[in-house]
Structures are given as C-alpha cells and as structure tokens.
Structure 1
Amino acid sequence: MSTFTTSDGTEIFYKDWGPKDAQPIVFHHGWPLSSDDWDTQMLFFASQGYRVIAHDRRGHGRSSQTDQGHDMDTYAADVADLVETLDLKNAVHIGHSTGGGEVARYVARAKPGRVAKAALLGAIPPLMLKTDTNPDGIPIEVFDGFRSALIANRAQFYMDVPAGPFFGFNREGAEVSQGQIQNWWRQGMMGSASAHYQCIAVFSETDQTEDLKAIDLPVLVMHGDDDQVVPIANSAEKAVKLLKNGTLKVYKGLSHGFFATHPEQVNADLLAFIKA
C-alpha cells in the first residue's frame, strides 16, 4: 500500500498508476469519499498513456483517521507534500466537490512548473454558505442538518445521500444504480466520523474567492445544472467569472455525481481539455 507521511505525522494513502515519465493527472475526491471515487477516470486516462494519481484526504478512506488539520490550508498542504514526494511536474489537477476546493487552494499557491491545468467538477468554490456578502448561498441550517444526521446515524445518512440527491436518483425517471449507492456508502464508512464532521464546515464555510482570482492557468469548470448538492448558480457560474482563464461546461439535467453517472461524456471532455 503506497503512503507518505505529512509534516504533522499524518499518513496519506495514494494510488499511482501508469508510466512514471508521462504527464501526471491528479484526482481529488469529494466528501466523505476516497480516491476510489475516481477509479473509472483513472482507468480511462491510464489507458490513454497518462500517469494517474489520487489520494485519500486525511481522515478519509485509508489515510490516518486524524482529527487534526481539517481545514482547506492543510488539505492543500497535504497535496503539496504529495506533489513533492512524487516530484510531479506539469500536472493536471482534477477535483470534485470538496476536492475542487482543494484543487483551487493548492493551484493558487503551487510552485511554478508544478501545474499545467485544472478542472473543477461540481466544485464548492467560491463559497457555499449564505452570508451577508453571499446572500444567495445555502443557509447554515442545511449544514447543521448534515451534522445532526451524521451524529444520529452516519450509516443511514451515507445511504440516503447517494440514494437521493447526490446522483439525482430521487428524480422521476432516474436510472438508479444500487452498485453506485453501495460504493458511495462503502467509501464513506471507511473514513473517520470526526474528520467527516469537521469537513462539513470546511466545504460549506471556506471562502475561496481569492483562490480563484489568483489562478491564471487554464481551468475547466464542469457542472450539472441539476446539481442538488452544490447548486450551479452559487458555484460554477460565479467561479468562472472569477477565474482569469476559465471555461464553463454545463451538463443539462445532470446531478452532482455526473462524472460517475456519465463517465464516457465527462472523460471525453476532460481529455479534449487536457490535450488542447
């Protein structure tokens, strides 16, 4: 099992597939999942000759179940440690949901030559929470509900989310995949309840406006317009306006987990962006 140890002693699990001299693509997963969420994309891009890498965020998946360092700065620092450990150059960073926030924070601060491009899929930036300066955001009561559900019955909560809004399986006529629901549950239950609880504040309350403004590399912003978890109007549509070199790709009728439900379409679009 491949791991590295961060400066604060946290052991981070990662996958590293494909030719070590090929251009690297680094995948960043969403809450409360693991690098396994990217297996379909990793297999595809490995078959295209790329080096593909994904890690389990601290407290998630197979990484240490630490209750320390659950903030966006530390998540990005862990990515920087991964990049330094593997000496990745000219990499493409692809992040979903909370992983998109992680990508934005890391790329905004990355050393020259480390990053070529980035893609944000159903990503949380610039800010999810409703505030005085973000009046159309999501009320704090929604995230308090997440916290209450996690404390009351995490196992059931992690069944209800994928069975409902995450993949859009609660929509009339949706083609429900029981395998995807169970795989989401499996990944979630691997991680630390404490880490997942703390991460709710991270993904809801972290303002990444300045991160987006600081990125001058090409960024592809991809979002389903039926995202019930991270609404497009408060995320992607704002994010692309803050980016210096951003492009918005909207998937009509698709959900928060659109890259999992429609991998052929998303993989092709990502490949075209990377090759451009």
Structure 2
Amino acid sequence: MRESHSVASSDGTPIAFQTCGDKAARPLLLLHGWAQSSRAWGDELLGRLAGTFRGIAMDLRGHGNSGAPACGYDDSRQWADDVAAVLDAEGVGDGAGAIVLGWSYGGIVVGDFVAAEGTSRIGGIVLCGATTSISRAPGGAVGDAMLAAGKGSVDPNPKRAIAALGSFGADMFAQQVGEGQQRLFGLSLATAPHVRGALLSRRVNNDEALAAAGVPALVIHGERDGIVLPSAGKANAETLGVECTLYPDVAHAPFLEAQDRFVADLEAFAAGL
C-alpha cells in the first residue's frame, strides 16, 4: 500500500513524499532528477521495491507536490534539511542503515546530505546516472543533450522551452519504453521554469564529502547516457571507492530501460550490507 505525506522543511517549504513497503524493512530513500518528481520511478518499480524495502520516494523542493518557493535552491544546507525532514518524519534515525539512492540531479542532493549530516543514518549510497557536482569536476560531466535542455528549458518563448524539454525527454532513453517515456516528459513540463533554472545555476562540488563517506556504495550508469556522461559515473565510482556498473544499450534511466537488472543489482547490494 502506498501512502502520500508532506512535511515542512527548516524554511517552512512543504516537502512531499510517498511511502510503500514494510515499515520494518530497510529504508530506501529515492531522490529523483532535475525537472522530475517521485512519479518518475513509476508504479511498477515502486511496487517491486516494496517487496524488499521500505520505500520513501521524495519530491525535491520545487518539484511534484512539494512547495516551489522563489529561493532556497542554491543552498546545500537547505537541500540537506529537506532530506532530514523527510527522514525525521518517517523515524529514520541514527543506525537505521538506510540506502540513499540518487538518480541524475538526485546524486547532488545525496552529496548535500552527506556533507551536512554525515552518514549516521545511512547504510549505503546508490548513484544511478548521477551527477554529484555542478562544476568542472569529473563527477559533474554532462553531455550536449543536458546543456541544450538547460538553456532551452528557461527560454521565455514557450514553444522553444517545450521543444527543449521534448528533446531532453527523448535523449533520456536509448530504447523506447512507452508510457514511462511520456511520463518523464510530462513531469519536466510540470516543473516551474524558475525551478528549472535555479537548480542549474548552482555551483556545488560534494566530492570531498562523498570520498569520506565511508559506507558501501553502488554506482550504476548507462553506457549510452548523453545527459550525464558515463565518465561522470566512473569518476563518482572512483570517489566512492567502487567499480562503476555500466549497463549496455541503456541511456539515462536504467531503472526504466533495464528494470529487471536494476532491481536485481539493488537487491544484491542491499543483501550484502
């Protein structure tokens, strides 16, 4: 059974999240990417994960059903507070051994949380097609598809903005995945333009915090990812002291394009903690 919740962050912004699965199971916090929401994961994946984990799928500030304030998107401490508010609301405290999974921009939020709060609640980190910085650091390497989408998505001309987001949605996939592909495009359109721009105007590098995290990690990346380049996945894996797990013929959304393997890899990782 899936339940919807909302909690106020430290600045009063409501942060929405969904929960599913057995509350006695290991917590799995899912952090989505830029211009998406917790709906990006899809009902099928959340249902599968609920069989093993206590799933907590969060809407980042400015996305989905969370509040979209005018500011607060350039503050790493604020992003960490958002995550902490959700974990506090669910009673995920020190020693909980939660797995924190960041997809795409969600990897930056993972780093924000680790940098500010440490890993006392965390048993493992998973990065999926993730960037961990907006800088010249190798872990922040993005492709032309992301650069074009970032610029076009804030164009004041709606036709150009919609076209940019449409191309971004198509570039997420190396294969056709039907409804899931359209869902992600719709979520991009539903994200306010000021939020799209604010997230990409940040300058942040969490490599030092991640290198010192000292918890097991899993890094998954599609070999054909043109949004966040595979080189970023390899660099982030090196930072975390693990090998990068590359998925052939997969682009930016391994959890949709290669869901069976993704679930198997995630469950195997959790079983080894």
Q: Is this a same-fold pair by TM over 0.5?
A: yes
Q: Which residue of structure 1 aligns with residue 233 of structure 2?
A: 236
CA distance in 2, matches of 1:83, 1:263: 26
In the alignment, does 2:176 pair up with 1:179?
no
- Is 2:51 the counterpart of 1:47? yes
Whether 2:225 is the aligned partner of 1:227: answer: yes
Under a length normalisation based on structure 2, what TM-score does the superposition of the two structures give? 0.86
Separation in 1, partners of 2:141, 2:98: 32
Q: Secondary structure at the match of 2:16?
A: strand
1:11 aligns with 2:18: no
In structure 2, the residue matched to 1:268 is 264
State yes or no: 1:20 paired with 2:18.
no
Structure 2: state its 5+ residue gaps.
none
184-193 or 142-151: bigger deviation = 142-151
SS for the counterpart of 1:2 is strand
> Judging changes above 3 Å, is the alpha-carbon distance between structure 1 residues 35 and 264 closer, same or farther for their aligned structure 2 residues?
same
Counterparts of 1:141 and 1:261 in 2: how far apart (Å)? Answer: 18
Query: Are 1:159 and 1:181, in contact at CA under 8 Å, matched by a contact in 2?
Result: no
Q: 1:198 to 1:128 in 2, by over 3 A?
A: closer
Decide which of 255, 259, 262 is 2:255's aligned counterpart: 259
Distance change in 2, residues 1:248/1:214 (3 Å): same
Assess if the C-alpha contact under 8 Å between 1:240 and 1:246 holds in 2: yes
Query: Once the two structures are superposed, what CA deviation does each residue of 1:182-240 show, in whole Å capped at 9, x if it has no partner?
Result: 201221233222111111223xx42222122221100111111211011111x121112
- The correspondence of residues 1-276 of structure 1 with structure 2, limited to 5 A, is 1-39=4-42, 40-48=44-52, 50-71=53-74, 72-88=76-92, 89-110=96-117, 113-125=120-132, 127=133, 129-130=135-136, 137=141, 143=147, 146-151=150-155, 152-153=157-158, 154-163=161-170, 165-168=171-174, 174=175, 176-202=176-202, 205-233=203-231, 235-243=232-240, 245-276=241-272
- Distance apart, 1:139 and its partner CA: 8.9
Whether the 8 Å CA contact 1:129–1:139 is kept in 2: the answer is no
- For the structure 1 residues 139 and 269, does the alpha-carbon distance in structure 2 shift closer, same or farther, using more than 3 Å as the test? closer
Q: Deviations over 1:34-71 (max 9, x none)?
A: 001123332111123x2100111010011112121102
Distance, in Å, in 1 between the alignment partners of 2:172 and 2:237 is 23
Q: 1:15, 1:179 → 2: CA distance?
A: 21
Q: Residues 253 and 76 (structure 1 numbering): CA distance in 2 closer, same or farther, change over 3 Å?
A: same
Q: Per the alignment, in what secondary structure is the counterpart of residue 154 of structure 2?
A: helix
1:122/1:139 Cα in 2 relative to 1: closer, same or farther (>3 Å)?
A: closer
Q: Which amino acid aligns with 1:57?
A: L
CA 1:137 to 1:12, structure 2 compared with 1: closer, same or farther past 3 Å?
Answer: closer
Query: Once the 2 structures are TM-superposed, how far is the Cα of residue 93 of structure 1 from its aligned partner?
Result: 0.7
Distance in 1 of aligned mates of 2:28 and 2:47: 12
1:155 deviation in Å?
Answer: 2.9
TM-score, normalising length: structure 1: 0.85
Instruction: Give the 3-state SS of the residue equivalent to 1:250 in structure 2.
Output: strand
Give secondary structure in 1 for the equivalent of 2:250.
coil
Q: CA deviation at 1:252?
A: 1.9
Distance change in 2, residues 1:267/1:65 (3 Å): same
What SS does the corresponding residue of 2:165 show, helix, strand or coil?
Answer: helix
